[in-house]
Structure 1
Amino acid sequence: MLILKAYAKINLALDVLNKRSDGYHEVAMIMQAVSLADTVTLTSQPAGIDLSVNIPGLPADTNNLAYRAAALLKEYSKTEQGVMIHLEKQIPLAAGLAGGSADAAAVLKGLNQLWELNLSLDELSKLAAKLGSDVPFCLYNGTMLATGRGELVAPLPPLPACYVILAKPAVEVPTAWVYGQFKADEVSSRPDIAAMRECLAQGDLAGVAGRLENVLENVTIPVYPEIAKIKEYMLKYGAMAALMSGSGPTVFGLSDCRGQAERIADQLKAQGVPEVFVAKTVSKVE
């Protein structure tokens, strides 16, 4: 039996470029793993794939990315071995934090070990890209540049250790809808990826915080104004910076002080934000 952590991610920078011939958008992102995590338990069994989850109503079949990850690796490796997967979810669903992708990545890594397949991370990453754009990043964690449709990842100098306040309002935002509504010609400001990379190289947390930007806010915030309200609260209560993660609706704020991060979280809860967490950055490959 193996027990793994599946870490959530945030987007320090997210730029959407041209639409590709395959229907996806070309993106450029700086992604960061955080310590908010699901727990993935893998137990060997002679054959077959079984999945259980701790949240009623969450699919526990081929509609779950963790199940599909196991099926894909089983087909690719031609193994006859099976596995029982249990997901203990902590990452909010449909939150822009890559919870499903993190679970899938943990399954790939764990089964590679459990089934003694000896595949490299690069080999697993090629399989991961077939499952979803965020899954390759979730294999590596840390701080990464993601390009292509998000599946092409390269390591960056780690974000200086800090605390991350995560706040999800009581709405769900379909990723496909956000990208479908995105209009490049309506974007007035884009993230400066090169400048943020330089700040990372210098270990400049304040410089990174001052350059947080996500062009998808232009789509999501006008329809879900509570996202802007959470950003406003975070800054009012002392976060270094605040930004929507991914296609939303979760907002994250950065702080270099645990006590302050916890105070911000408490004040957000007092304002009625239903799901609030304090996490730390995850800098090393797990």
Structure 2
Amino acid sequence: MKIESYGKINLGLDVLYKREDNYHELSTIMQQIDLSDILTIKDIKEGIKLESNHRDVPLDSRNLVYKSWEKIKEKTGINRGVHININKRIPVAAGLAGGSTNAAATLKGLNELWDLKLNEEELRNIAVEIGADVPFCTMGGTALAEGIGEKLTKLKSFKNHQLLLINPGMGISTVEVYKKLRLKGKRTLDTNKIISSIENNDIKTLSDNMINVMEEVVLENNPIIEEIKNDLIKYGSLKPLMSGSGPTVFGFFDDLDKLHYCKDKLEEKYTKGIVVEGKTI
């Protein structure tokens, strides 16, 4: 079977504090986008075999797809082999949940392939043991995620808005970003304003209030992020934001012609990066 594995952006991201279990308490609003990988999943006699068209994708237990296979076997008691080919179109280590969405797609794919009949809640309960973004990727759409990402509140759909993703062609380690975070007492992200903007379908107010507390840390060693943000604004984007732990930056547009103009201009400059035009879904 083939299954599309959609990425995400963070419309706002706050890290509240480090918990006693060493995870971080989050408050983030996530939006699925129509940039996707494609997973091809087939039964084999035993074990797991991973393949990918991207050289940076680990093909062993470091891959969240591998962990999804292990977890679903553990939870259901079913021990079957699987061959999974990962056709990567989402940049690796880019803040777009490429690995997490592959893990979620694997859970959903094996649930169908093995006729497990697990419902959405059961799949999300498995997903939270795999990674913070995996529960959201299992659900999709638009949502407020709290806790370590497992507490999901589905929001009004924010689909069909034009955005541009700019990835400078490098990877950022999420683990390293968390290590360097300076958690402050004063919170800066107003999730209520973000949610209100979504409900009112107001991309201008949404963009003006988008904040990612991870940007400060990432910018210290990667000034290109600020450069990309400035270039997006220069060529017609509303206020842009870095997604997740970066380095991908996105911006919404109130006019499709502006988006195409900006895309053309930035492709000239960021030739080693990846420029993607997408629609939230």
* TM-score, with structure 2 as normaliser: 0.95
* Distance in 2 (alpha carbons) for counterparts of 1:85 and 1:126: 22
Counterparts of 1:188-203 in structure 2, within 5 Å, are: 190-203=188-201
Indicate if the aligned counterparts of 1:160 and 1:204 stay in contact, CA closer than 8 A. Answer: no
* Distance in 2 (alpha carbons) for counterparts of 1:49 and 1:84: 6
Counterparts of 1:100-249 in structure 2, within 5 Å, are: 100-185=99-184, 190-249=188-247
Indicate if the aligned counterparts of 1:46 and 1:80 stay in contact, CA closer than 8 A. Answer: no
Which runs of 5 or more residues in structure 1 are unaligned? none
Return structure 1 stretches of 4+ with deviation > 4 angstroms: none
12-21 or 170-179, which deviates more: 170-179
SS at match of 1:214: coil
Q: How far did residue 57 of structure 1 move?
A: 4.5
Indicate if the aligned counterparts of 2:163 and 2:250 stay in contact, CA closer than 8 A. Answer: yes
Indicate if the aligned counterparts of 1:16 and 1:26 stay in contact, CA closer than 8 A. Answer: yes
27-36 or 151-160, which deviates more: 151-160
- Percent of matched pairs sharing the same residue: 39
Q: Provide, for residues 225-256 of structure 1, a one-character-per-residue CA deviation record: whole Å limited to 9, x for no partner.
A: 10000000001110122000011111011124
* Distance in 2 (alpha carbons) for counterparts of 1:107 and 1:263: 37
Q: How far did residue 69 of structure 1 move?
A: 0.7
Q: Provide, for residues 250-280 of structure 1, a one-character-per-residue CA deviation record: whole Å limited to 9, x for no partner.
A: 1011124444323212211111252111111
Partner of 2:57: 58
* Distance in 2 (alpha carbons) for counterparts of 1:257 and 1:115: 45
* Distance in 1 (alpha carbons) for counterparts of 2:182 and 2:251: 26
User: Are residues 144 and 57 of structure 1, via their aligned partners in 2, closer, same or farther at CA, if it must alter by over 3 Å?
Assistant: closer
Instruction: Tell me how many residue pairs correspond in the alignment.
Output: 280
Partner of 1:85: 84
Indicate if the aligned counterparts of 1:245 and 1:251 stay in contact, CA closer than 8 A. Answer: yes
Indicate if the aligned counterparts of 2:159 and 2:279 stay in contact, CA closer than 8 A. Answer: no
Q: How far did residue 80 of structure 1 move?
A: 3.4
SS at match of 1:42: strand
* Distance in 1 (alpha carbons) for counterparts of 2:260 and 2:98: 22
* Distance in 1 (alpha carbons) for counterparts of 2:256 and 2:40: 30
SS at match of 1:29: strand
Partner of 2:10: 11
User: Are residues 259 and 66 of structure 1, via their aligned partners in 2, closer, same or farther at CA, if it must alter by over 3 Å?
Assistant: farther
Q: Provide, for residues 102-155 of structure 1, a one-character-per-residue CA deviation record: whole Å limited to 9, x for no partner.
A: 000000001101100000111010111111000001011111100001222110
* Distance in 2 (alpha carbons) for counterparts of 1:28 and 1:280: 24
* TM-score, with structure 1 as normaliser: 0.93
Which runs of 5 or more residues in structure 2 are unaligned? none
RMSD value over aligned CA atoms?
A: 1.6
Indicate if the aligned counterparts of 2:2 and 2:40 stay in contact, CA closer than 8 A. Answer: yes
Amino acid across the alignment from 2:225: I
Indicate if the aligned counterparts of 2:14 and 2:212 stay in contact, CA closer than 8 A. Answer: yes
User: Are residues 275 and 211 of structure 1, via their aligned partners in 2, closer, same or farther at CA, if it must alter by over 3 Å?
Assistant: same
Amino acid across the alignment from 1:26: E
User: Are residues 46 and 163 of structure 1, via their aligned partners in 2, closer, same or farther at CA, if it must alter by over 3 Å?
Assistant: same
Q: How far did residue 160 of structure 1 move?
A: 4.7
* Distance in 1 (alpha carbons) for counterparts of 2:136 and 2:80: 27
Amino acid across the alignment from 1:270: E
165-174 or 16-25, which deviates more: 165-174
